[in-house]
A and B are shown apart, each in its own frame.
Chain A
Amino acid sequence: MHIMEGYLPLIWCIFWYAVSAPFIVYGVWRLKKVVNEHPESKPMLAVAGAFAFVLSSLKMPSVTGSCSHPTGTGFGAIIFGPGITSVISIIVLLYQALLLAHGGITTLGANVFSMGIAGPFVAYLAYKTLRGIAGFNIAVFAAATLGDLATYVTTSIQLALAFPAPVGGIMRSFLGFSCIFAITQVPLALIEGLVTMLLLRYLLALKPDVFSAFHISDKSKLAEA
């Protein structure tokens, strides 16, 4: 669930557009580089985009009695890094903003930052940190789960900054929005982690060298996974 159209004051819309813009420029540059240097990675780029498409269309019930959806961005972040994933997230967010009145154009900058930058960045870091310690399966699971959660924690921060509570300020407001977004997201994030792990294992079994050509952090380790 993203910040709804019109639900951020203009100044914050501009702020988040400005914060997200440089990441998007970097992401487009990375995307061009990967496509030029590794044209064979195009199918996997398509899968990364498609995975985010599927997962963000699935609105699931959660423990708080309301519904939300996973993000599907951990997959792209693990294989291609957060830069390219931020570009992927724009496609998903635009589809939902324009065709489903879900999220919005004014809040696009903020939503790109939470879903396309903060989440993938956390996922990428978690994968890199855990890969050597916990093994491939757990690293992927944890990365996708934490990336999903981080997206909604970020959304809560963004709303808290724009709407501090009259009593208790930003922190109080953040706790309130976290109850709505982050707690709702916990079971969904776990499911996203499981599905991401399974899909990556499946693709690896089909094509063991599928990741080795890409510019990712630990090519050699992944090839043997």
Chain B
Amino acid sequence: MSELKKLSLIVALLIAIIMLLTAFVPGMIGLTPEWGGADAVAANKIGEMSDYKPWFSPLWEPPSGEIETLLFSLQAAIGAGIIGYIAGLYTGRKEKNRDQP
């Protein structure tokens, strides 16, 4: 597992570096970051370059930003729970196999 630990550390470090660079690059190249969604930026651009009007709106929208956050967190939690459960299942099986050769 030590090789895996080393790999985890390298990955964590690289992600930290990428995130840090990301935070400073917009300022360095003269942008004022708003950190909005890229899809909203694209929608604005469509509005700028044509007189297109969306012809269909979402059937249901989260009533507030809080509720949207709730549903996004739920999405992540469901996914993380499943990955954790199955990683645990495999870990348990591996240990059992080791105990009973």
Residues of A within 8 A of B (CB): 1-7, 9-10, 43-44, 46-47, 49-68, 95-102, 104-106, 137, 159, 163, 165-166, 173, 176-177, 180-181, 184, 187, 190-191, 194-195, 197-199, 201-203, 205-207, 210
Contacts and interface: CB of A to CB of B under 8 A. Distances in A.
A49 to B, nearest CB: 7
A159 B46 contact: yes
Residue among B38, B50, B56 with most chain A CB within 10 A: B38
B58 A97 contact: yes
B75 A201 contact: no
Contact of A6 (B36, B41, B57): B57
A144 to B, nearest CB: 12
A176 B41 CA distance: 11
19 contacts: A3-B42, A7-B46, A10-B55, A43-B86, A50-B80, A52-B79, A53-B75, A53-B76, A54-B80, A61-B22, A65-B32, A66-B40, A67-B35, A99-B60, A191-B19, A194-B15, A197-B11, A198-B7, A201-B7
Given A50-B83, A61-B35, 17 more contacts: A1-B39, A4-B39, A4-B43, A49-B82, A50-B86, A53-B79, A55-B79, A57-B75, A57-B76, A67-B36, A67-B38, A100-B62, A159-B42, A181-B38, A190-B18, A202-B4, A205-B1
Contact of B45 (A2, A55, A177, A190): A177
B62 A101 contact: yes
Given A54-B79, A99-B62, A191-B15, A65 B35 contact: yes
Nearest to B94: A206
